[in-house]
């Protein structure tokens, strides 16, 4: 197997976690005789310094011809005073949109070594292993027009979805549910919103093709409560853009640290962009203490979703879990009787596993 992977390290700890991840991918490549070709391109602040724009054409072109993209993080105080269109974060929004990445996946899995790291009680989060499938390029966040009316006395935002946008994300979610525990929770607000009524109709229609998947419809308010009180009752959650944004941040509490969370942004083919949920962490950049696990787990998602390498993805996830169980961790985590190590040492230990 030969794959072209574009690396977009970006800024701050983005660079550190990308290079850590490359180490792990090289171990996998060597062990299983795969060829991973890495092409490093600039994005964010680094690209602004070189090209005066956050997403240069050369970077976009490299991504368009790659099998997958790994992105570290963008942004930092150096570029904070720039106007919005040329800020580092704009590069991120632009690349997702230009690559047509309509589905955002955020798997939330509690690692046994970190159960007490969550502010929630251990018994609640134990065994929670869920996948949030969020629509990423439509809905309220892309509504036009958004406007203020009557001299600031009123305001309007529009929630607009085309049927095909809902169909394709729901279809994706059914496919994921089929490959997991075969349980899909569709989250909406169909008692109030017209868009949610159409959403629910579509989920019911699509479910006919997936008789093996059990479907549950849940209002978003109830879902937000159940995520905290009984997270292990979920398998796959599918929802529209804003509900998914809020629920996935809520669910991140289950894992213990921002540095642990991976994400994938995908579309209908096997291509995807994989990035940790955290930002460029300028406060710890260059100190060699960044937690690389969110990025490394994102690479595992790449192997699983873009390359179909389920076993290799699982190997990475198990190596991470076992390294944590051995007590090794970066300073952002807390493990009882554990040992704080540098980013490089943690990576070396995972590579060993
Ligand atoms: P942040 O996620 O960079 O950091 C928040 C806090 O968590 C900091 O104390 C940081 O040290 C810590 N942290 C984050 N990731 C960590 C890791 N892997 N290991 C250890 N500690 C970690 O968010 P913040 O501070 O709001 O933003 C910093 C910069 O990052 C800003 O320029 C922001 O715009 C950008 N940003 C970029 C994102 C991206 O590229 N996807 C996402 C969020 C923010
Ligand atoms: Mg959010």
The structural domains of the chain, ordered by start, are 1-107+257-353 (3.40.718.10), 119-255 (3.40.718.10)
Q: Could you tell me which residues come within 8 angstroms of residue 273 by beta carbon, excluding any fewer than 6 positions away?
A: 63, 68, 69, 70, 71, 95, 96, 99, 101, 264, 265, 266
Structure confidence by residue, pLDDT tens digits, 222-261: 999 999 888 989 999 999 999 998 998 888 878 777 888 8
Which of ligand 1's atoms lies nearest the C-alpha of 80?
32
- H/E segment holding residue 201: helix 194-207
Please say if 221 is a catalytic residue.
Answer: yes
Q: Who has greater pLDDT, 185 or 85? A: 185
Give the global pTM. 0.89
Give the bridge partners for 218, in sequence order: 187
Among the residue ranges 37-46, 60-69, 74-83, the one predicted with the least confidence is: 74-83
Give the pLDDT score at 120: 64
For 352, counting Cβ atoms within 10 Å of its Cβ (0-12 exposed, 13-18 middle, 19+ buried), the class is exposed
Quote the ligand 2 centre to 245 CA distance (angstroms): 5
Give the pLDDT score at 176: 94
Please say if 189 is a catalytic residue.
Answer: yes
Cα separation values, 231 from 121, 148, 224, Å: 12, 39, 10
Give the pLDDT score at 146: 66
Quote the ligand 2 centre to 248 CA distance (angstroms): 7
Residue 258, ligand 1, Cβ within 6 A:
yes
Residues whose Cβ atom is located within 5 A of ion ligand 2:
245, 249
Residue 13, ligand 1, Cβ within 6 A:
yes
Q: Which of 105, 110, 135, 21 is nearest to 70 (CA)?
A: 21
- DSSP state, residue 289: -
What ipTM was estimated for this complex? 0.98
CB 135 within 8 A of CB 165: yes
Q: Please report, rounded to a whole number, the percentage of residues in the chain having pLDDT higher than 90.
A: 76
Residue 87, ligand 1, Cβ within 6 A:
no
Which of ligand 1's atoms lies nearest the C-alpha of 17?
18
Structure confidence by residue, pLDDT tens digits, 69-105: 999 999 999 999 988 778 999 898 889 889 999 999 9
Write down the residue that tokens 């904070």 correspond to: 80
């Amino acid at each position: 197997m030969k794959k072209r992977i574009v690396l977009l390290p970006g800024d701050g700890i983005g660079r550190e976690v990308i290079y850590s991840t490359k180490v792990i991918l090289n171990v996998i490549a060597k062990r299983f005789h795969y060829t991973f070709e890495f092409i490093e391109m600039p994005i964010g602040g680094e690209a602004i310094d070189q090209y005066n724009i956050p997403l240069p054409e050369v970077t976009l072109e490299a991504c368009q011809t790659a099998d997958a993209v790994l992105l570290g993080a963008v942004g930092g105080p150096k570029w904070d005073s720039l106007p919005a269109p040329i800020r580092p974060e704009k590069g991120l929004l632009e690349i997702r949109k230009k690559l047509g990445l309509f589905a955002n996946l955020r798997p939330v899995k509690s690692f046994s070594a970190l159960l007490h790291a969550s502010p929630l009680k251990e018994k609640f989060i134990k065994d929670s292993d869920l996948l949030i499938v969020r629509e990423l390029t439509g809905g309220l966040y892309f509504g036009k027009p958004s406007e203020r009316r009557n001299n600031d006395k009123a305001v309007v935002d529009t929630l607009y979805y085309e049927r095909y946008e809902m169909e394709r994300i729901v279809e994706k979610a059914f496919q994921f549910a089929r490959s997991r525990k075969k349980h899909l929770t569709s989250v909406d607000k169909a008692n109030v919103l017209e868009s949610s009524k159409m959403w629910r109709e579509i989920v019911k229609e699509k479910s006919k093709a997936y008789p093996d998947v059990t479907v549950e419809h849940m209002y978003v308010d109830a879902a937000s409560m159940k995520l905290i009180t009984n997270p292990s009752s979920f398998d796959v959650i599918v929802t529209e853009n804003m509900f998914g944004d809020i629920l996935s941040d809520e669910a991140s509490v289950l894992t213990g640290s921002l540095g642990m969370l991976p994400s994938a942004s995908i579309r209908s083919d096997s291509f995807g962009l994989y990035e940790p949920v955290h930002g460029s962490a300028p406060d710890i950049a260059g100190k060699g203490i960044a937690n690389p696990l969110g990025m490394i787990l994102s690479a595992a998602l790449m192997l699983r979703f873009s390359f179909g390498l389920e076993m290799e993805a699982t190997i990475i996830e198990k190596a991470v879990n076992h390294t944590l169980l051995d007590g090794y961790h970066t300073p952002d985590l807390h493990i009882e009787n554990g040992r704080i190590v540098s980013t490089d040492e943690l990576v070396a230990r995972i590579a060993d596993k």
